[in-house]
Amino acid sequence: MKKQSIVALLLTVGLVAICFASCLGPMLPEKQVNYIDGTYTGTGEGMMGPITVEVVVTSGAITSITLKEHKETEGVYEKAETWVVASILENQTTDVDSVSGATYTSEGIKAAVADALKNAVA
C-alpha cells in the first residue's frame, strides 16, 4: 500500500470515529444533581458589577430564580435574565448558553446561581 493510501485510510477511520462519538453524546445520560431543599443566595460578576440572585430548591430541583440586586444596563439584563433563567430551570444546570449581546450579564447570572447552589449540594 502506498503511503498516501495509508494516510487516507487513517483519516477516514478517524473521521468515522469522530462522527460515531458525536452521535453517542446526546444518548448518554446527563448527571442529575439532587439539591437540598431551601432558599439560597448567590452573587456573580456582571458587566457593571455584582449580580445577586435568590434560588429556591424544592423536592431536589431548582424551582425559582429571582433577581435580588444588579447594576446592569436596563433592557440588557432583562433579556439575559429571561433566557438564562428559563434555560437553567429547564435543564437544572448553570451550563447553558449565554444571550448574544448580553454575554457578561448572562455569565454573571449563571455565576450567581452556581454560587447559590454550591450551598445546596450535600
- What whole-number distance in Å separates Cα of residue 83 and Cα of residue 106? 9
pTM given for the model: 0.73
Q: pLDDT per residue over 65-122, tens digit each?
A: 999 999 988 888 899 999 999 999 999 999 999 999 899 999 999 999 999 999 998 7
Whether 104 and 79 have beta carbons less than 8 Å apart is answered as no
Residue 38 CA: distances (Å) to CA of 46, 56, 61, 83, 116: 25, 6, 10, 23, 11
Within a 10 A sphere around the Cβ of 44, how many other Cβ atoms? 22
Dihedral pair phi/psi, residue 45, rounded to 5° = -95, 120
> Nearest to residue 44, comparing CAs of 67, 74, 60?
67
Whether 67 and 45 have beta carbons less than 8 Å apart is answered as no
In this prediction, residue 28 carries a pLDDT of: 46
Q: pLDDT per residue over 6-38, tens digit each?
A: 655 555 655 555 655 555 555 544 556 689 999
